[in-house]
């Protein structure tokens, strides 16, 4: 695996983490 592939995978994982955090925040707001 090349360093570029590794960086792309890390970026994708980070993106998913951000999306998940936003979704849980929206869920919290809508249940209030």
Task: Say whether pLDDT at 2 is over 90.
Answer: yes
> For 10-32, b where at least 16 C-beta lie within 10 A, e where not — what string?
eeeeeeeeeeeeeeeeeeeeeee
Question: What ranges do the domains of the chain cover?
Answer: 1-32
Q: Give the model's pLDDT for residue 32.
A: 80
Q: What is the pLDDT of residues 13-32, one digit of tens each?
A: 999 999 999 999 999 999 88
Q: Give the model's pLDDT for residue 25.
A: 97
Q: Give the model's pLDDT for residue 24.
A: 97
Q: What is the pLDDT of residues 4-18, one digit of tens each?
A: 999 999 999 999 999
pLDDT tier at 1, thresholds 50, 70, 90: confident
Phi, psi of 2 (to 5 degrees): -85, 165
**Cα(29)–Cα(20) distance, integer angstroms:** 14
Half-sphere exposure of 10 (CA within 13 A, CB side): 7
């Amino acid at each position: 695996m090349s360093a570029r592939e590794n960086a792309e995978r890390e970026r994708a994982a980070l993106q998913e983490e951000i999306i998940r955090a936003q979704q849980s925040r929206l869920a919290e707001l809508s249940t209030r």
